[in-house]
Amino acid sequence: MTHPGANTSGHTNNVTAAAEVFEKHGDFIRMIIRYHIGNEAQADDLFQDFFLSLISKPLPRGLQNVRSYLYRAVTNDVIDVAREAERDRTVIHKYARNSNYPINNSNLENAFIEEEEMNKMFELIERWLPHSQAQAVTLRYRDDYNLQEAAKKMDVNSKTVSKYISVGLSKIRQFLTVNQGNRNDCSQP
């Protein structure tokens, strides 16, 4: 059994090591992120997330080419963020596309039906998710807020909003997977 304070020194060392990496290579890390991400707010979020990533998984000991390692690690994080965002969009669009509502050929009617389906999906989100998760998902995907705007609106930090969205969408994905064939059960939490 380990002593409760035993891990604290390890975490402190990891934070110190991450801070040193960011002090020495922060501009390089930010440049890589900006190269891959056009959205400044999202780039800032990813910059902060990468710092946390370095705390949880510090640079390997004896690393010969730190910049090469950082380039690969940051690029992998950017790819992961893009995949997660695409997966979230796919789930939302899949739900809207697979719902059992008829679609007419008229563009105006299609737009109206698509809007109705999206509204029903967000009603489902509000019923099935805790308030903070539902609010974060709604602000981000219905109201088109970026993470910083949603954080300001919710009076929390961007990382918290990101977590609410991630957990909330994961719960919705699980719900939709379980209830995919039976849309009548969607009204019961």
103 lies in the same domain as 168: yes
66 lies in the same domain as 121: no
| Structural domains of the chain, count | 2
Locus of tokens 């903070």: 132
Q: In this structure, what token pair is assigned to residue 16? A: 């110190």
Which residue spans within the chain are E strands per DSSP?
none
74 lies in the same domain as 136: no
Cβ atoms 70, 92 nearer than 8 A: no
d(CA 102, CA 113): 8
pTM of the predicted model, to two decimals?
0.45
76 lies in the same domain as 13: yes
For residue 129, give the CATH number of its domain: 1.10.10
Q: In this structure, what token pair is assigned to residue 93? A: 């669009």
Would residue 67 count as lying in a domain? Answer: yes
The model's pLDDT over 13-38, given as tens digits with 9 standing for 90+, comes to 888 888 899 899 999 998 988 888 87
Cβ atoms 168, 121 nearer than 8 A: no
The model's pLDDT over 51-95, given as tens digits with 9 standing for 90+, comes to 888 888 889 888 899 999 999 999 888 888 878 877 887 777 777
Would residue 180 count as lying in a domain? Answer: yes
55 lies in the same domain as 128: no
Beta-carbon contacts of 170 under 8 Å, excluding residues fewer than 6 positions away, are: none
Confidence of residue 152 (pLDDT cuts 50, 70, 90): very high
Which structural domain range is residue 147 located in? 99-187
Cβ atoms 81, 38 nearer than 8 A: no
119 lies in the same domain as 73: no
71 lies in the same domain as 112: no
The model's pLDDT over 122-147, given as tens digits with 9 standing for 90+, comes to 788 888 889 998 899 888 888 888 88
126 lies in the same domain as 174: yes
133 lies in the same domain as 75: no
